[in-house]
Structure 1
Amino acid sequence: MSRLTRRSFLSMALGTTSLIALPVSASTNAPSTTPFRHADVIERARILATKTFSHRPSVPEDWLNQSYDDYKARWFRTTDALWADTDRSYNIDFFLPGLYFPRAVQVYSVTDGHIEHQPFNINLFEAHKRAPDLSTEGNLGYSGIRLRTQFNAPDKKNEFCVFQGASYFRAIGAEHAYGLSARGLALKTGDAEGEEFPEFTDFWLEAPAPDQKNMVVHALMDSPSLSGAYRFNITPGTNCVMDVEATLFARTELPHVGLGPLTSMFLYDDTNRHLFDDFRPAVHDSEGLLVKNGNGEILWRPLANPKHLQISSFVDENPQGFGLMQRSRDLSDFADLEAHYHRRPSLWVEPLGDWGKGAVTLVEIPADKEIYDNIVAYWRPREPFAAGSEIKLSYRLTWGEEPDMVLPRVLNTASGEKIFGDPGRLMIVDFEASPLFADFVDGEEGEGILDIHISSPHVETTDGVLQRNPETGGLRLAFSFDPGEQDHIELRAQLRKDGAAASEVWLYRWTT
């Protein structure tokens, strides 16, 4: 089972939504006479929140009972994509329901303000000879959509964005391969009573002009705890940039909400490579959490694959951004000729407006295989959202390369047992090359050169040693500590010069 199908299984099996009415045009497949406005999606979400939640009906049993191979035996015919026979700048493909997608979504195109329902049509899909016969009656519909546009090749539209499964979606820059995902919203992630997965139930796709650079997608969300209206202004390119506007209506009190949630996979790197019998030096979609907090401080927290679920909170007020990054960009970093982990995108969340007090929250879940998405990151507001409240937020998602933060980045973190001297653990942190390090000479430290700042609330550490790394041109910091009987240690390190930051802040949680 691929990671995508596992993600789909979790989100669709656990997520729940309610049945909503379709526009009049859905029964005739003719464009409606009422102009479409995003305000109408917001109003539908508002009304939905006042009603008792109910599950949408599932697709027929034979669709649900397919094997993975059965499901993959049918695929969309791109020549029949929405707008394929026009000069519009985007095409839309559809995904089949069933297997891990028990409830269909409703899809509408919007042309010159008028809505047209896109009815389910299995004849838009090619079928392998092994594809099973399936019923054509019942609650059928598409499970999601795929966006395609022209990048580098003339007369060819390449895919770059997918919405499928609960409120999951993902995108790539022009030179990237699909990796981590985002969600419309996270609820109760890591809570003992279980996570709630809101679902996008309806999509409205604004027909683009022939030379239009962006694509606008509207979505209606529903779940037992809330409803919501989303607007995605999507601009693909070297990076894919999405401006997201959301209006949420709380049915119940929401004590644990995750805004701008991201989902990824981290199996191993140099910090835990010894636990996996694998020819590849690393396996991950993302390797670290990057945060630019409200004070402008830049934090880097390498990801972990812990023995037990762990949650880390980085308390802040009005964060400037956060995201899950993939910094390893060479094939040799992974030695995987099929998965292309070195091409997986980073994803940066930039709040547009003040998000108040709360915490960037990182959830790390134990995983023994790369098919499991085990990393979640989101912003958790400090105060609960009251039942009946309306919440508006906007933010920007950038899929591709990470943002330029000016300060030298951490390239790698490694850990191991001390070989000589007293017992303990040795930590290695590699910083990339920077003009700030131009005057550095091995072994020198002090005013006007570089100062090493290392701290921990749990243990004493050595002072640390800096050396030039001839392979990267940057600097390597080495220090050690003795954990004793403790099962986890929080560590912090940063390079400073003339009293100012000379690197991002490295944060690490060592565990047994």
Structure 2
Amino acid sequence: MTIDLNRREVMMALAALGVALPGSRALAADGDGLQFGPAEPFSFDALVEKQRALAAAPYVPEASRAPAVLDRIDFDQHWRIKYKADETLQLNDGKAPIRFFHLGRYFQLPVGIHVVEGGTARTLRYDPALFDIPADSPAKELPADIGFAGFRVLEPGREEDWLAFLGAAYFRTSGEDNQFGMSARALAIDVAMPTPEEFPRFTDFFLEPSADGRLVITCALNSPRVAGVLRMDVSKGGPIRMDIQARYFARGDIQRFGIAALTSMFWYSETDRARRVDWRPEVHDSDGLALWTGTGERIWRPLNNPRNVMTSSFSDEAPRGFGLLQRDRNFENYEDDGVFYEKRASVWVEPVGSWGRGAVQLVEIPTDDEIHDNIAAYWVPETPVRRGDAVAVDYRLFWSNREPYPGTVGKVAATRLGRGGIPGQPRPAGVTKVVVDFDGGLVAALGRDAKGVKAIVTASRGTVGQTEAYSVKVGTAWRATFDLTAEGDAPVELRLYLTQGESVLTETWAYQFLPLGAA
């Protein structure tokens, strides 16, 4: 039931790897050390057919060629291995300068790197001379053709990268504010199931210029029960957009087939002060799951850090989008001047075409530190994937500060919990005060003295009382409050939205309340 919990530590360590200024020649390095194999015909359709045939054959497990040596290349040793600045691969007239990651303890299986030009692909040959490797590094003992672990794309003319592919089928960008945070991955297979999770991995990358963006990355994928291809056309200009075509072929039955998977970290927020153990007010890459359903409803589900693994499913048909968002953009709510959580990108998934019936699933795993990725969200088709099935999905990913299609309804701005009852009077035992602030859209347009605004609240169990809705006298927000009484440890599913007459003013706040015994 793991979500690659150590990946975050690896990524944070690798972020310190050196990068350098790119040159301007296409399909070449700034130096002359890059060597390519012969040109071979290449197309997306041909690669799809190749992976279809691969899925029809038994899975052949992959093994590290030098595990004892690679295991000695830990965080510190890996950081010391630098890709040479003058060997940067240039694509798209210098719009996509690319550098490569070395293998190490946490990335022991090499990936193929292929450069596409004019309908052909040439394989980039690994050479240890492409890296500055310290004389005492274990990497000196590796075979001369050991291979690359992944790659990163730099900003032209700057020593910063904004896109990285490293490990399994993960990829991530630095978003609009140049701050890496959460990740995406091609597939999430059997997350939070009784059986172990399966991690497909990208085995080969085919890199080519984009007609409208920075570059096109076509990825071959393989694992014990699935093979496939992802083609992503990546553009950058403010929000980072990825137009993705995904084709998967199952060589075994898969109960939980998670499409367009997102992975994030949530330790704590303003929602639950009782569990705050760190000096910072909040620590998270994302603070909620947003959904735009096929019927048009907008839903906001604040994230939890539960004591036990929790899986929530939001059934839908032809969803319009979903994403893990970082809505809180105020530095003072984090006070972290090292990793800047307020700059972490939100990631929104927009289906292209109808995805049919299924569910967006949210998985929340307990964590006691910020180094663990403990949140996952993905789409699961209603019909489980069986051996021999082919799954074709197209979608877009937006890495941005705000969701790309906000709509007109007011958004949840904050969720707070505290003691129930009335201040100044004896507080009743076992009662929780829930406070939800809405702002923006139709809510921000309301006058402070607007009449007929009501909070509509439902609970899966327990009783709701003392419900109010009123303007927050500072700014444009409106606040809804209610008392919840619920005995026992079982979670309580809550829903809340504001109305005025027949009009719905806000998105639906959908919260899983965890009593102290369950939290």
Q: Name the counterpart of 1:182.
A: 184
Please say which of residues 350-359 and 433-442 is displaced more in the overlay.
433-442
Instruction: Report the equivalent of 1:58.
Output: 64
Distance 1:160 1:229, change over 3 A: same
CA offset digits 1:447-471 (Å, max 9, x no partner): xxx2211111212212522232244
Q: Does structure 1 residue 460 correspond to structure 2 residue 467?
A: no
- Equivalent position to 2:82, from 75, 78, 96: 75
Tell me how far apart the structure 1 counterparts of residues 177 and 494 of structure 2 sit (CA, whole Å): 35
Q: Distance in 1 between matches of 2:480 and 2:136?
A: 57
- Equivalent residue letter for 1:506: W
Contact between 1:105 and 1:141, CA under 8 Å: does it hold in 2? Answer: yes
Alignment-derived partner of residue 16 in structure 1: none
Unaligned runs of 5+ in 2: 14-33
**Structure 1 residues 38, 411: CA separation in 2 closer, same or farther (over 3 Å shift)?**
same
1:136 corresponds, among 134, 139, 142, to 142
Three-state SS of the structure 1 residue aligned to 2:342 is helix
Following superposition of structure 1 onto structure 2, how do residues 187-198 of structure 1 map, counting pairs within 5 Å?
187-198=189-200
Instruction: Tell me the CA shift for residue 129 of structure 1.
Output: 7.0
Residues 239 and 400, structure 2, Cα contact 8 Å, conserved in 1: yes
User: Is this contact kept in 2: 1:291–1:321, CA < 8 A?
Assistant: yes
Cα 1:39–1:480 change in 2 (3 A) is: same
Aligned to 2:513: 510
The 5-angstrom pairing of residues 7-406 of structure 1 reads 30=36, 32-60=38-66, 61-83=68-90, 87-127=93-133, 131-132=137-138, 134-137=140-143, 140-150=146-156, 155-156=157-158, 158-207=160-209, 213-401=213-401, 402-403=403-404, 404-406=406-408
Residue type of the alignment partner of 1:267: W
The letter for the 1-side match of 2:163 is C
**Structure 1 range deviating more: 38-47 or 170-179:** 170-179
Mapped to 2, the partners of 1:230 and 1:323 lie a distance apart of 19
Relative to structure 1, is the Cα distance of residues 8 and 88 closer, same or farther in structure 2, using a 3 angstrom cutoff? closer
Which of 438, 459, 474 is the aligned partner of 1:431? Answer: 438
User: TM-score under structure 1 normalisation?
Assistant: 0.89
How far did residue 256 of structure 1 move? 1.2
Q: 1-side partners of 2:391 and 2:81: how far apart?
A: 40
SS at 2:51 equivalent: helix
CA-CA distance at 1:486 after TM superposition: 4.0
- Secondary structure of the structure 2 residue equivalent to 1:249: strand
Kept in 2, the 8 Å contact 1:59–1:138? The answer is no
Assess if the C-alpha contact under 8 Å between 1:234 and 1:242 holds in 2.
yes
Retained in 1: the 8 A contact 2:248–2:390?
yes
Conserved? CA contact 2:100–2:150, under 8 Å: yes
Residues 1:478 and 2:485 aligned together:
no
Q: Which moved more, 1:259-268 or 1:388-397?
A: 388-397
Which ranges of structure 1 fall in alignment gaps of 5 or more residues?
A: 10-27
Deviation at 1:414, TM superposition (A): 0.8
CA distance in 1, matches of 2:39, 2:131: 30
Report Cα offsets for 1:461-511 as digits up to 9, x if no partner: 125222322444211111111112243211100011231220110011111
1:172 Cα deviation from its structure 2 partner: 2.9
Task: Work out the number of aligned pairs and report it.
Answer: 483
